[in-house]
Structure 1
């Protein structure tokens, strides 16, 4: 009977029963079969197992009283309702949900594990570093207070841009100047210091050190002594020599008051040298010359001293020829000449730089005749067709002596021959003999130092031989041939940069209205912010000051490109170190933090309370010259790349990176084409390669697909014809007339820029 009332799952399928009958039937069924009773109990007690209920019903029956029956009757009412449904195993809820345990947390459920086993669930915070920059002040020979006192004296400041061709030794020459500012190492550590290679302080970025190539310009603020022992504040900026980075060279020259042109003594002036001279002519900057790597004349070319002089003279004459071609001699008082003092000779690898006057002081010091002979008059006889006769100890302009012998040129006798002998002794003598010979030149070496390798030993000997004259020659060139910021020589150049400048700007007045020109932005070591390199023309800046930032597109009639900003920090850059300062006066360079979000390329800083109507006249405002003029480049960005992120959701990150690289590279242009492509324009392959590396690794941090480079060509016809030149097509059925006239300004013939006129003919135009 019980088998007919329940199905195979234990569900009751018999006739409807009231409460009393259901209780009795359940008891009867339990007495007949314990298994059936357990199945019936399953639907009454939700959430328990069948075995547990069977055991419970058996225990209730075992009591044998009415209590067990009453309990069954009491539970019989639970059968009616949703609780009577069967709950499958996969539908049972054993644990609470995550949103119930953590109501304020966002819960993300993934069906598949998309994270690699090597990747942690919670990644640690990673601080990326792309350059080596230390905020702590280096171990300098002077104090920061002394440096601050020099900053307040305008006539003791010199702002110089170091330009030249690629691998002509600009960064190595800067290492020589920077090393002079550091505290001298102890004698016990000197061997270890000079045994290593050139540190290249100005190549602070890691990619520059890997490429062995300067990519960004690097400003350096130093306090150096000239030949007379007077200290000057030298603001020098090392610029890349690669032809693609002409924008860095232009931005650096905009902040400088003069240019030091570095030329290799072996290679001579190349295309980078011509670009630097043309830039100086356009900006009206005075030029000085440094003939670097003269040690290559000894090591590589192995020229005799007399031929080495002719090689140096040939290099200087070539540079003067380029200056005449570019029109620099009309602005410069004299051409490059060692006698004029605007030329110095250097070897950055061996650690010395000298002019004729500094070498004359060194020679008189070694001879013990410092106060007896005038070094300036002696230096005038050390170049050109001036010969020295050792027998009479007199100078002459004739190469042949009275006795019939041949006199030695004074530059060869007093400078090149001693240098050649010093090189030969250091590289060829035995250590014991070398130590005694150098002692006569007042060069002392320890037993450990005399056994160094040839190259470090040579650098150490040259440093101690030149002593204080190792860098005084370069400082003399800066002091005498680069004008101070407030001098009259700079007023004409300031009028070109800022025609509507207030009166205090030309005189570099520290108490005048604030005028600062931001000409370059430098990314922080982690790539998250930018520091602005500014040159103060008048007024002063201090930490916490509120300034108006006027962009390159600012006009008095349209003040949209203007914003207010607060200066967070001021610092002086010294290659890989920063010197924090609280205030900077007119005539100096300074790195400003807090302006990176307000500047795109360049800007002008004025005080917050200055009225904007006084910035410039309406006529100047219409031409966009109410503030400092935008940077003008000699090159154009003609190489184009189309970019696209590998992962489409990374498009916002790529756009942020494009905005950052646009700030970091002055000549770079970014654009969105009509087709929706994001493109960048650069000057060349090396330029765009560095841009893409910064975009992928420093700013965006995403993988980017790049198209093949495309180059834009712009050609036009600009003149008419006066001479007919006939040309026929290969099929001899059509004839053209090429028109040639002299070009404007007499630069050539118009055949390079001629017009073509089709004379017609029986043949169709499509066969031409």
Structure 2
């Protein structure tokens, strides 16, 4: 029995003892070294050859990942580690750092109890690092810190020992600042990372060594020795004396809570059901004998097993052939195989117990984010909120008619496996829209459709996703039904940013029916909404609110659902360019309805209400919002002029410029529409010497001098008449 097989046998045995399990992830900015770190941890634990570690990128088993040298999916693996005479099972998920794949990070966090935040010693805290720390804390995932690439700090930046220590202190302080502001008391103090208690480690994932205070005491290696070893390029000795997997896996076991401790704290945050119910109690206790409660965090499509759902089992035991329900789906599903994941391998087992990360085949209706349970009545887990929304769209169609049905199937499975991709299937025109987080995200999705599923497709150049809003309050505007017997009077107004933000982060639930109107009203009042308005909220659509501000209108309760439909239609296709409306409050202030219900059916009420909203928006001054990108660039001073020129040509606004040695750090914002082809342009302008990364920076109004032209382009592309209609058109 080889070492790998031996460890698989141990892993299967340990999966039955939740107090010996640790579910952890690695999370960081792109290229700070997460996957290399994950590989060396897996190799150290005997799950792959140590010569290949860091070069083989075991968790990057997708050929696109190996070709591009980045992680696209969140891959996972289980390994065994001995610490203080006991063996532990560590389930590790490696997450992407590229901003286009942020959705994968958000979902992976749901399965974890702890997270190794990897920060590059040279670059320090970067935008994506902040995002992952924020996501981890929101899901109550406990962070530990690994400062990577220490050798580069010493050999490339030539820092002194004192400067090295100073750099470490800065990074640790920055991380702790985030923890202090984003968690409630007492957690914000308890979860601080501290070198003295061993929750911070320093090292080089590529060269396979790491140190922290407990390991220094054990091995007798101090910071001055680390400095000398790196300076003399003798990192092999360091890796022998203080191997990375020993230090980091011991740090994880010591500081990350086991599933039993973690679930007591995490379940109330991620599940809003009744804590006294059978499933509630079982999840809080991580009880293997309770009902099955699993949250799917990822779907992978396996050529042999079909769709495999990977997720965290919070309660119960999943066995082969068991009947389970996917929340929100009518049919019961039967599990075909249950397995433990080790990188690209899945090891089949008879059953898996609460507290583990498990892979299940046979759940046809599950998508990433689904709740799976043996109790058909179980309330679903909180929706996983993504910090960014899709900003780029491509239109794709099959080259050959015969591939049409297959393409629709493939697009459905793409949307299941990656909910941060939005798919709009149009069977009439055969043209389907794919919206994602950025150019790279869509490029790779299309590559997978063509290469994995062998479908030839034509795709349009990328198109930017816009949003619509209004300048000032508009209305009351009267919308009449086609038969002229029903009238609705509507006002519209922009929502304050804090309310829109609360809807985006999920603090205000906008999905489905309003469950608790009182709680919703008090939350909106806390955010500054007027009391009567907060009580009148009857529906949401996207990040827009529909308020019924009328008093005692006859028959209104019979048509309010139809009004909601009219509201939703108006919000999905705005009056300016048929883009989605975002951040608008729609108030129904008066209505006159026909007494005979035959004259106020859907064909009368829906268009009347929609016209009232469109007309009110036209009187309030419609504006188009475009998505922005925040750009962080590190470049040598000698090419700074070219870099700035490249950004400013693209309507970029420079926010700050800092110097660190001979490196310039530039932070800027530019519209997504101007950023296509930026990668090759900046490489050309700086001879490939600029390092850059981007993150989505929300939507801002298109400059007024450009709006008419942009609206015209969008409308023409959609086959509409170039100018939008004015208010008089909607007054019927």
Q: Same fold (TM over 0.5)?
A: yes
Shift of 1:155: 0.9
- Structure 1 equivalent of residue 312 of structure 2: 535
- Structure 2 equivalent of residue 512 of structure 1: 290
Taking structure 1 as reference, are residues 691 and 627 closer, same or farther at Cα in structure 2, changes over 3 Å only?
same
Matches for 1:96-107 after TM superposition, within 5 Å: none
Shift of 1:197: 6.2
Using the size of structure 2 for normalisation, the TM-score is 0.61
Matches for 1:68-467 after TM superposition, within 5 Å: 139-140=3-4, 142-182=6-46, 194=51, 198-226=55-83, 228-327=84-183, 331-332=187-188, 333-363=190-220, 415-425=222-232, 427=233, 458=234, 460-466=236-242
Q: For 1:464 and 1:563, locate their aligned partners in 2 and report how far apart those are by CA, in whole Å.
A: 55
Of 676, 687, 694, the residue aligned with 2:441 is 687
Alignment pair present for 1:474 and 2:248: yes
Assess if the C-alpha contact under 8 Å between 1:165 and 1:263 holds in 2.
Answer: yes
Matches for 1:550-589 after TM superposition, within 5 Å: 550-551=326-327, 554=328, 561-589=329-357
Assess if the C-alpha contact under 8 Å between 1:323 and 1:329 holds in 2.
Answer: no
Q: Which moved more, 1:201-210 or 1:341-350?
A: 341-350
Of 258, 264, 268, the residue aligned with 1:495 is 268
Q: For 1:742 and 1:662, locate their aligned partners in 2 and report how far apart those are by CA, in whole Å.
A: 32
- Structure 1 equivalent of residue 394 of structure 2: 641
- Structure 1 equivalent of residue 486 of structure 2: none
Gaps of 5+ in 2: 274-278, 474-492, 502-582, 585-616, 622-707, 709-732
- Structure 2 equivalent of residue 392 of structure 1: none
Of 351, 354, 371, the residue aligned with 1:604 is 371
Q: For 1:718 and 1:229, locate their aligned partners in 2 and report how far apart those are by CA, in whole Å.
A: 67
Q: Per the alignment, in what secondary structure is the counterpart of residue 259 of structure 1?
A: strand
Q: For 1:241 and 1:271, locate their aligned partners in 2 and report how far apart those are by CA, in whole Å.
A: 10
Q: Give CA deviations for 1:205-257 in whole Å, capped at 9, x if unaligned.
A: 1111111111111111111123x343211111000100010111011001111
Alignment pair present for 1:696 and 2:416: no
Shift of 1:173: 0.7
- Structure 2 equivalent of residue 69 of structure 1: none
Q: For 2:324 and 2:351, locate their aligned partners in 1 and report how far apart those are by CA, in whole Å.
A: 17
Assess if the C-alpha contact under 8 Å between 1:644 and 1:706 holds in 2.
Answer: yes
Higher relative contact order (CA 8 A, sep 6+): 1
Shift of 1:711: 1.5
Assess if the C-alpha contact under 8 Å between 1:224 and 1:231 holds in 2.
Answer: yes
Shift of 1:580: 2.3
Q: For 1:509 and 1:313, locate their aligned partners in 2 and report how far apart those are by CA, in whole Å.
A: 41
Q: For 1:696 and 1:589, locate their aligned partners in 2 and report how far apart those are by CA, in whole Å.
A: 31
Shift of 1:328: 7.1
Taking structure 1 as reference, are residues 646 and 316 closer, same or farther at Cα in structure 2, changes over 3 Å only?
same
Q: Per the alignment, in what secondary structure is the counterpart of residue 299 of structure 2?
A: strand
Q: Per the alignment, in what secondary structure is the counterpart of residue 449 of structure 2?
A: helix
Q: For 1:582 and 1:599, locate their aligned partners in 2 and report how far apart those are by CA, in whole Å.
A: 21
Q: For 2:75 and 2:179, locate their aligned partners in 1 and report how far apart those are by CA, in whole Å.
A: 26
Shift of 1:143: 4.2
Assess if the C-alpha contact under 8 Å between 1:549 and 1:598 holds in 2.
Answer: no
Matches for 1:600-679 after TM superposition, within 5 Å: 600-607=367-374, 610=375, 612-613=376-377, 615=378, 626-673=379-426, 676=429, 677-679=431-433
RMSD: 3.3
Q: For 1:284 and 1:508, locate their aligned partners in 2 and report how far apart those are by CA, in whole Å.
A: 16
Shift of 1:633: 1.1
Taking structure 1 as reference, are residues 223 and 153 closer, same or farther at Cα in structure 2, changes over 3 Å only?
same
Q: For 2:471 and 2:620, locate their aligned partners in 1 and report how far apart those are by CA, in whole Å.
A: 14
Gaps of 5+ in 1: 1-136, 186-192, 364-413, 428-457, 555-560, 616-625, 721-738, 748-752, 759-765
Shift of 1:638: 2.4
Taking structure 1 as reference, are residues 578 and 740 closer, same or farther at Cα in structure 2, changes over 3 Å only?
closer
Taking structure 1 as reference, are residues 703 and 470 closer, same or farther at Cα in structure 2, changes over 3 Å only?
closer
Q: Per the alignment, in what secondary structure is the counterpart of residue 670 of structure 1?
A: strand
Shift of 1:592: 1.2
Assess if the C-alpha contact under 8 Å between 1:222 and 1:235 holds in 2.
Answer: yes
Taking structure 1 as reference, are residues 334 and 516 closer, same or farther at Cα in structure 2, changes over 3 Å only?
closer
Shift of 1:696: 1.0
